[in-house]
Structure 1
């Protein structure tokens, strides 16, 4: 094991800050077996943001060009958290420079780029480098508990799945145009939050076989150009000039999985729902549901309950549930967990793999770039279904 590992984050926006905070906290979780983690650089093309974020999270410096990170021999681990269309160039450059890379999802906004990135990751693996994609919700104890209920048979045979991810960051027509609103079909709400919902559906229901009923809708077709820098979902001052929105505000589709069928729906214009990810699975012996609104609990219904009290019961997550013991400073039931915590667990898992800690002694590994490509293949099938008026489209993964 290395005596220390240098870390950098490329992208200082909303998710970039989550990665920066996660690396800072990762050594405080579970057993203290990690090498020293050196917080080296925050890189962002917008200098004021890079400077502020580096100071805020205790990184030694800031950079305004990702190439400075690639060229620094003191940096071993890099998170890439920028616009999806920029992922390929940066990731390939970092791997060529000998860095271990954790790329934010989705892997890219095109299948061609994602497959090229997976090829680069495969070549880099031969040189001992690790490239992973961040599927952060797989770290949620509630989702893992539902998977346990499925695997141990307590829910019986799965009958169907319902999932939605509603957000409202785009519900105001005066929200300025940014990269999030410009891209190919399927790179809007589907690519942003649907990329989460789709991998979670597969995690619970098994591999997807086909999709149907794909439908996209762009509710706000143009947005004002900003007068300054757009960071995350901030609004700020805008000009009179407007630009077209080229991707989806809303998407819905049906899917057939190995274990059941399901319906999935995503939106970025659902007013009053800032971050509403809700999953529900129905089986022959009961049902279970989880929501990001109350992530520290799972609701479970089992048919073996007495008839006069049958229905959902609320289960507070605690040490009896997956990923919980040692995962927080206070790992007692009812303390509460949130989405930021999932990034910390993700960073911890990635560092453990880079540090060479055996799989049996680590958190579950982060997903591979091949998994990231499959995620985009899934979403591409939805886009094809929508383009064909809702037709059934098989999801066939290419060999990686």
Structure 2
């Protein structure tokens, strides 16, 4: 094991800050088995933001070019949290320079680039380098508990699944145009939050085999151009000039999985739903549901309850559930958790793998680039279904 690991984050926007904060906290959860974690650099093309984020999270310096990260001898581990179209060049450059890489989802903006990245990562693995994709919701204790209820048979045979991820960051017509709103069909709400919902559906329901009923809708067809830098989902000052929105504000589809069928729905224009991820699974012996609105609890309904008590019961998450015990300073029921905590566990798992901690003594590994390719193939099938009027499309 190395005596220390130097960490950098490329991209200082909202998700980049989540990665930066997570690396800062990663040594504070679970047993102190990691080597020294050195917070070295935050890089962003908008240098003032890079400097602000570096200072905020205790990183030693800021850079304005990812190539400075690749060339730095004091950096070993890098998170890539930038526009999807930039992933391939940066990730391949970092791996060539001998860095371990954690890339945000989706893996890229095209399947061709994603497949090339997966091949590049596989070759880098032979040189001892770790390349992983961040599927952060797999670290949620509530979602992991849903999977546990399925695996131990308490819900019986699965009958169907319902999942939605509604957000409202794009519901205002005056939100400025950015890379999020420009791209091919399927790169909007589906690629952004649907990439989360799709891997969670497979996590609970088993591998997907086919999709159908794909439908996209763009509710706001043009947006104003910004007068300054667009960071994350911020609005800011805009000009009178407008640009077309070329991808989806809303998407819905049906899917067949190994264990059951399901319906999935995503939106970035669901006013009043800033970050509303809801998962509900139905089985022959009962049902269970989880919501990001109340992430520290799961609702469970079982048929073996007394007839006058039939209905959902609320289960507060605590040390009896996945990820909880030792995972936070206060790991008692009712303390609560949030989405930022999931990034901490994701960073911890990645650092444990890079440090060479045995898999059996570590948190579950982060997913591979091959998993990232599959996630994009899943979404591509939805796009194909929508283009063909909702027809059935097999998933590779």
1:308 Cα offset (Å) = 1.1
Q: Give the structure 2 partner of residue 108 of structure 1.
A: 108
Structural mapping, 1:328-347, within 5 Å: 328-347=328-347
Q: Give the structure 1 partner of residue 250 of structure 2.
A: 250
C-alpha distance in 2, partners of 1:246/1:100?
34
C-alpha distance in 2, partners of 1:104/1:150?
28
Q: Deviations over 1:294-350 (max 9, x none)?
A: 000000000000111100000000000011001111000000000000000000000
Q: Give the structure 2 partner of residue 204 of structure 1.
A: 204
Q: Give the structure 2 partner of residue 27 of structure 1.
A: 27
Structural mapping, 1:324-363, within 5 Å: 324-363=324-363
Q: Give the structure 1 partner of residue 235 of structure 2.
A: 235
Note if 1:46 corresponds to 2:46: yes
Task: Count matched residues.
Answer: 396
Secondary structure of the structure 2 residue equivalent to 1:199: helix
C-alpha distance in 1, partners of 2:216/2:75?
42
C-alpha distance in 2, partners of 1:9/1:360?
28
C-alpha distance in 2, partners of 1:184/1:114?
16
C-alpha distance in 1, partners of 2:110/2:281?
30
1:96 Cα offset (Å) = 0.5
C-alpha distance in 2, partners of 1:315/1:109?
39
1:114 Cα offset (Å) = 0.4
Note if 1:126 corresponds to 2:113: no
Dislocated runs of 4+, deviation >3 Å: none
Secondary structure of the structure 2 residue equivalent to 1:108: coil
Secondary structure of the structure 1 residue equivalent to 2:231: coil
Secondary structure of the structure 2 residue equivalent to 1:391: coil
C-alpha distance in 1, partners of 2:85/2:307?
54
C-alpha distance in 1, partners of 2:255/2:124?
34
For structure 1, the 5+ residue unaligned runs are none
Q: Give the structure 1 partner of residue 67 of structure 2.
A: 67
C-alpha distance in 2, partners of 1:183/1:70?
28
1:184 Cα offset (Å) = 1.0
Question: Normalising by structure 1, what TM-score?
Answer: 0.99
C-alpha distance in 2, partners of 1:109/1:290?
30
Secondary structure of the structure 2 residue equivalent to 1:335: coil
1:159 Cα offset (Å) = 0.1
1:273 Cα offset (Å) = 0.1
Q: CA RMSD in A?
A: 0.3
C-alpha distance in 2, partners of 1:246/1:99?
35
Q: Give the structure 2 partner of residue 386 of structure 1.
A: 386
For structure 2, the 5+ residue unaligned runs are none
Note if 1:195 corresponds to 2:199: no
Q: Deviations over 1:146-193 (max 9, x none)?
A: 100000000000000000000000000000000000011101000000
Q: Deviations over 1:232-258 (max 9, x none)?
A: 000000000000001000000000000
Structural mapping, 1:151-230, within 5 Å: 151-230=151-230
Q: Give the structure 1 partner of residue 10 of structure 2.
A: 10
Note if 1:366 corresponds to 2:366: yes
Q: Give the structure 1 partner of residue 318 of structure 2.
A: 318
C-alpha distance in 1, partners of 2:127/2:291?
41
Question: Normalising by structure 2, what TM-score?
Answer: 1.00
1:37 Cα offset (Å) = 0.3
C-alpha distance in 1, partners of 2:259/2:209?
10
Q: Give the structure 2 partner of residue 267 of structure 1.
A: 267
C-alpha distance in 1, partners of 2:309/2:55?
54
